[in-house]
Structure 1
Amino acid sequence: MILIRAKSQQPLIDNSANQLITQKRSNTMKAMTAIAARKEKGFTLIELVMVIVILGILAAFALPRFADLGGDAREASIKALGGAVKSASGIAHSAALAAGGSPGSVTLEGVSIDLVEGYPQANAAGIQAAAQIDGADYTPSGGGATAGATITFTPTGYSGTGPCNVIYQAPDQANSVFAPVITVNTTCD
């Protein structure tokens, strides 16, 4: 029942109608709270699909960055081999000087190293033995026992286009090369 006051023209609501409105508001609020509580319990299928799509896109961009690790590994391997060849050459030369000049060979760690002009020869009995280069890891090509001979070590199975090798050239005092020339090429692809 609605009563209108003449003075203010506002409806007056009796107590029973007021209680009914309050109860309906209370029920509506409870229903909205229940819906909100249900929504917070997990992810929807659309949210999960979107996360998977985003991860897929990130993986597509990140994968090429890590796919070419083989070239980096070969480059590091060649640099390490170059250091080993330089060290072995210096150690063999030091052993030759300690032995009294320029012997034909020195023994390092129980292995005989053939020398030319006081440094390891450019062959398997020379620098390859001194640096302990394994034929399974690196493929030697060229080489020789004479002054100025050159041997090249390339990673086994390497088929790239860039030079990826270590080149050792024995000294040749007749041509004013008094120490070995060691070249490290790291354009490994």
Structure 2
Amino acid sequence: MKVKSFSKQEAGFTLIELVVVIVILGILAVVAIPRFTNMTNDARIAAVNGMNGAVQSASAIAHAQALVQGQAGASGTITMEGNSSVGLVFGYPTAAGILAAMATTTGFNTATAGTFALNNSSGTAIANCNVVYAPPAAANGVPTITVTTTGCGT
């Protein structure tokens, strides 16, 4: 009886090797997917925080210009950047005036005066994902700027 021998090695993966690779890919998917889905929420929060900084800066610049021009009374108007007429109350922009003081509000819904709500991909405002500006209520007061990010993840 003659025994047949193979001189070539057979190439391929064993069943155990394939199972190990599938298990490793499954573990990676379980760990990585939640991190990537959370990035949308983080990006929206970062955008709202960026708008918060822009609103604070515009308010401070308008207030500085109002002080220089002697417009720190109960009402007034200044011109910023040569073309934006900014309404003032106690030397700070009004709720409508802060929009005129801003250089850009791209990506934000500004239909309500003083509110900068982040838009979703279809262009509608995301509830509870915004910056709200309120001018001072009395002389020597400061504006109130409220940031809400509780709805940014939806």
Band of TM-score, shorter chain: 0.7 to 0.9
Q: Using the alignment, how far apart are the partners of 1:94 and 1:168 within structure 2?
A: 17
**Per residue, is there more helix in 1 or in 2?**
1
1:108 aligns with 2:80: yes
Q: Is the 8 A contact 2:89 2:135 kept in 1?
A: yes
TM (normalized to structure 1)? 0.63
Counting matched residue pairs gives 140
Q: Using the alignment, how far apart are the partners of 1:169 and 1:48 within structure 2?
A: 62
Counterpart for residue 128 of structure 1: 99
Aligned partner of 2:119: which letter?
A: T
What is the CA deviation profile of residues 13-57 of structure 1, one whole-angstrom value per residue up to 9, with x for unaligned ones? xxxxxxxxxxxxxxxxxx8xx68xx37xx5425224531442134
Counterpart for residue 38 of structure 2: 68
* Superposition map of 1:20-99 within 5 A: 38=9, 43-46=12-15, 47-48=17-18, 50-99=20-69
Give the structure with higher Rg (CA). 1
Q: Using the alignment, how far apart are the partners of 1:87 and 1:154 within structure 2?
A: 18
Counterpart for residue 140 of structure 1: 110
Secondary structure of 1:68 counterpart: helix
Aligned residues with identical type, % of pairs: 44
Aligned partner of 1:185: which letter?
A: T
Aligned partner of 2:90: which letter?
A: E
Q: Using the alignment, how far apart are the partners of 2:32 and 2:130 within structure 1?
A: 30
Q: Which structure 1 residue ranges, 5 or more long, are not aligned?
A: 1-30, 144-150
RMSD: 2.7
Aligned partner of 1:166: which letter?
A: V
TM (normalized to structure 2)? 0.75
Q: Which structure 2 residue ranges, 5 or more long, are not aligned?
A: none
Moved over 6 A (4+): none
